Amino acid sequence: MKRILDVKNLQVSLPTPNGNLRAVRGIDLHVNKGEMLCIVGESGCGKSMTSMALMGLLPKRAEVTAETMYFDGMDLLSLSKKERNQVRGMRMSMIFQEPMTSLNPSYTLGNQLCEGIIKHKKVSKDEAKKRAVYLLERAGVPYPEKRLDQYPHQLSGGLRQRVMIAMALMCEPDLIIADEPTTALDVTIQAQILRLIRELQQEFGTAVIFITHDLGVVARIADRVAVMYAGQVVETASAQDLFADPQHPYTKGLLNCIPIPGKTLPGSHLESIPGVVPSLIGELKGCAFENRCSASIGECCYRSPSLENHLGSEAHQVRCPVATTSFQEAV
């Protein structure tokens, strides 16, 4: 399968008064064409930073480095500002977490939907409007023609998020990054938006990086999953493998936190992971999860584990020596 995005050793750090905050600590990621990759992790694990770095939206003071950062064969890091602008918006687009504040209150929806495609694809205003109406309709926005002349404050949060989805699709991008697009919405609307994103993704064949802290969401939509912890990917696998055969203690812990219909008995105790995430300022010694891990062994305290293939397969990788050795012993 062809990779639309291929990133090796992505690092992001931000200077803070207390020291350098190393939010992303060497991430390897790839997304295949037309695939839904879910990045899952708790807040502060660097998943949003990763998405902003991929889009090139981090503030200037943030330092972004990577061995490679290829998008459809182009090295994103070596593009000029203008070329990067061309890629961003036309070939990559983004859906944000806060539909209430992500639209400019001063301009009509039509104006905001159309400005990107008019700039990137040099289409006429009428053509842009036609596409906007079509996509609004596809995104389940009632009375799409009327919406073009409305202002954001006239729409509910759920509708605004549908508008944001339509906006992200305007230029037929190859990749959409959706950063917790359902978190700020009501539970009933969350499910609708989720279904919509999945449908449109399959219909248009767009690759999606879906960022979430919610394993329930992952189970519903993901093709592949990357679990992040403390600025690193700790496990990556196809959704099926990950749920059926989790390897990293953190992933296992996460899965124990959610009830499974049919398996979890009513009234039974749900697990939680004890302890808190370590500070991401400065260097970490050993495994980042060591202080919360029930399976840790001596070397975890001082040796940083690397991402290894599980069962010899590149499709399932784990960053944990215990998981890897226990497999070897079993063999």
Partner 1 sequence: MSDSTSTVSTAASASTFLPEVPEWRRMMNRFLGHRGLLMGSIILGLIVVLAILAPWLAPHDPYLQNISQRMIPPVWHEKGSWEHVFGTDKLGRDYLSRLLYGARISLTIGLSAALISGLIGTTLGVLAGYFGGRVDAVISYIITTRLAMPVVLVALAMSALVGGSLQMVIILLGLLLWDRFAVVARSTTQQLRDAEFIASAKVLGASTTYILVRELLPNILSALIVVMTLEMAHAILLEATLSFLGLGVQPPMPSWGLMISEGKAYMFFKTWVIAIPGIALMVLVLAINLVGDGLRDMNAPEGRN
Partner 2 sequence: MLVFIFRRLLVAFSVAITVSIVSFMLLHLSGDLAISIAGPESTAEQVEQIRIDFGLDKPMVYQYFDWLWSAVQLDFGRSYYFQDTVMSLISDRLPVTLTLGGLALALATVIAIPLGVIAAIKQDTWIDRLALTIAVIGQAMPSFWFGLTLIVIFAVNLHWLPAGGNETWQHFVLPAIALGYYAMPAMMRLTRTGMLEVLNSDYIRTARSKGLNESSVIFKHALRNAVIPVVALAAVELGFMLGGSVVIESVFSLKGLGQLAWDAITRNDYPVVQAVVLIIAVFYILLTFLADVINAMLDPRLRVR
Smallest separation (angstroms) from partner 1 to the CB of 24: 14
Q: Determine if 76 is a binding residue for partner 2 (CB under 8 A).
A: no
Nearest to 176 by CA among 91, 102, 116: 91
Site residues for partner 2, window 122-151 (CB under 8 A)?
A: 151
Partner touching 181 among partner 2, partner 1, none, CB below 5 to 8 Å by kind? none
What is the Cα 293 distance to its own chain's centre?
Answer: 25
Task: Please spell the DSSP secondary structure of 74-89, one letter per residue.
Answer: EEGGGS-HHHHHHHHH
Q: Show contacts with partner 1 in window 213-242 (CB under 8 A).
A: 213-217, 220
Which H, E and C letters describe 10-66, residue by residue? EEEEEEECCEEEEEEEEEEEEEECCCEEEEECCCCCCHHHHHHHHHCCCCCCCEEEC
How far, in Å, CA of 321 to CA of 325, rounded?
6
Q: Are strands 308-310 and 313-318 parallel, antiparallel or unpaired?
A: antiparallel
Of 43-102, which residues contact partner 1 (CB under 8 A)?
Answer: 43-44
Which residue among 104, 240, 264, 313 contacts partner 2 (CB under 8 A)? 104
* Structural tokens at position 260: 């499974």
**Minimum distance from CB of 280 to partner 1 (Å)?**
6
Cβ atoms of 31 and 12 within 8 Å: the answer is no
- Of 40, 26, 31, 23, which Cα lies nearest the Cα of 3? 31
Residues 6-45, one symbol each (x = binds partner 2 by CB under 8 A, - = not), give: ----------------------------------------
Closest contact distance (angstroms) between CB of 278 and partner 1 is 7
Which of 8, 120, 121, 292 binds partner 2 (CB under 8 A)? It is 120
Q: Which is nearer to partner 1, 207 or 234 (CB)?
A: 234
Pick 3 or 213: Cβ nearer partner 1: 213
| Site map 164..203 versus partner 1, x via CB under 8 A | -----------------------x--xx------------
Measured distance CA(102)–CA(191) in Å, rounded: 20
List the 207-212 sheet strands across, edge first.
Answer: 92-95, 175-179, 207-212, 36-40, 224-229, 232-238, 313-318, 308-310
15 near partner 1, rule: CB under 8 A: no
Query: Where do contacts with partner 2 occur on this chain (CB under 8 A)?
Result: 55, 57, 84-90, 93-94, 96, 98, 101-107, 112, 115-116, 119-120, 151, 153, 164, 167
Query: Where do contacts with partner 1 occur on this chain (CB under 8 A)?
Result: 16, 18, 21, 40-44, 187, 190-191, 213-217, 220, 254, 257-259, 270, 272-273, 276-281
